[in-house]
């Protein structure tokens, strides 16, 4: 089997698993306050990092703007949900007291509206972010690849977000 066939098979299977990962990540995010108080597990990620939590804002690419929700979990795990069914996963790492770098990987559905039935590529991005109180701003670069791994586009990406407290939704009212 060729690498292109493996890549296509993987991206097609992502349609079924991405929604499941999003549900698990959302459930994990509900326990962020407890996790943030736990002892660090290595990787240089302090549970007291000011980036840990949920942020909502706007991601700007040369060709579009998207409303997005970012979740930075302890131990460097990152999730993003954007307009349509755009779910991404990645890693974050502190680079200073109020700065972080985060990466993301997102599969691209052929139809950006509704539930994905088929994927036609992926996006990878690298962000360098600064925290100022409850505001996060970032600059970085993105690359989009077709289903065979060929680069389709590359360019700048920026984001701004404000802290969003999801704990007010948990536990559910009786």
User: Omega before 171 cis (within 30°)?
Assistant: yes
Domains of the chain (ranges; CATH) run 3-39+46-166 (2.40.128)
pLDDT tens digits for range 77-116:
999 998 766 789 999 999 999 999 999 998 776 655 555 5
pLDDT of residue 164: 86
Selection from 130, 36, 21 nearest residue 79 by Cα: 21
Is the model's pTM score more than 0.75?
no
Quote the percentage of the chain above a pLDDT of 70: 61
pLDDT value for 173: 65
Which stretches of 62-150 are assigned E, i.e. beta strand? 64-73, 77-82, 86-96, 99-109, 119-132, 135-146
């Amino acid at each position: 089997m060729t690498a292109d066939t493996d890549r296509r098979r993987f991206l097609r299977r992502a349609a079924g698993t991405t929604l499941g990962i999003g549900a698990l990540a959302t459930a994990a995010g509900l326990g962020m306050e407890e996790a943030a108080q736990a002892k660090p597990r290595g990787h240089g990620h302090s549970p007291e990092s000011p980036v840990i939590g949920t942020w909502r804002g706007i991601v700007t690419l040369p060709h579009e703007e998207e409303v997005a929700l970012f979740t930075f979990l302890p131990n460097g795990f990152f999730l993003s949900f954007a307009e349509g069914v755009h779910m991404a996963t990645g890693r974050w790492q502190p680079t200073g007291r109020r700065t972080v770098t985060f990466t993301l990987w997102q599969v691209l559905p052929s139809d950006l509206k509704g539930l994905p039935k088929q994927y036609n590529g992926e996006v990878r991005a690298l962000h360098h972010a600064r925290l100022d109180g409850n505001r996060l701003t970032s600059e970085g670069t993105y690359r989009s690849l077709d289903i065979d791994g060929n680069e389709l586009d590359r360019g700048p990406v920026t984001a701004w977000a404000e802290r969003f407290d999801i704990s007010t939704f948990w536990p559910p009212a009786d």
